[in-house]
Amino acid sequence: MDNSPGLNRIEVEALAGIKKRHLMGLNSNTWLVRTMRVLMPLATTMAVASSPAHAEDEHSIYYGSRAGMHLTTVSKSGIGTSKAVIVVKHTPKDAKAYCVEYEQDYSMACVKRTMAEIKVGDRVTANCKKRTWTDVYGQAYAFEGKATSSDLMADYIVRNVASGEILDGSSASGYPTALSIFQELCPGIAK
């Protein structure tokens, strides 16, 4: 192995791979495909392993069902009680996550547009004893237990208090977003 100064181990191994490819008589496309089969899983593993452990808690409240539609948690109080509150903030970092993960747009223009367009409240609240809560739009919901009907795609019955309608479990109904907020505010009830 070449221990050239200024090269890290991966760069040295890549150079060794180029030399080996030349010696093995592989064309560059074949070598590239084989190399990527090895490096892509490694890169994915490294990215997951290097992400902060608190990232899930920091972005546990969602304002929609699309990728990246999350908010930054500022504080939590009374979790699991009749006065549960999670204070949230929509940050440029959250807007960038939406732009990159959903829009596939890496531009600052997308971040600015998303920050201007997304208007959400600064908190979600719950009365865990009554099993009711509000989302970032002020919409109220009630948790009514395990679903027993085969007509629903949902595991639990979640009712929109204003309309009286039961959310059917689809993303279009808002079920995943509403239920995840309830689970953050009142852990252990809807598992």
**In this predicted model, what pLDDT tens digit does every residue of 88-107 receive, in sequence order?**
999 999 999 999 999 999 99
Residues 6+ apart with CB under 8 A from 65: 171, 174, 176, 177
Question: According to the model, what pLDDT value does residue 119 have?
Answer: 93
CA–CA distance, 36 with 100 (Å, rounded to integer): 23
pLDDT-flagged residues of the chain (< 50): 1-4, 38-56
pLDDT of residue 40: 47
> pTM higher than 0.75 for the full model?
no
User: What is the reported pLDDT for 52?
Assistant: 30
Contacts of 141 (CB under 8 A, 6+ apart): 132, 133, 134, 135, 158, 159, 160, 161, 167, 178, 182
Q: What is the pLDDT of residue 1?
A: 47
| CA separation for the pair 119, 10 (Å, rounded) | 45
pLDDT score for 131: 97
Query: Residue 190 in contact with residue 181, Cβ under 8 Å?
Result: no
Residue 6, pLDDT score:
55
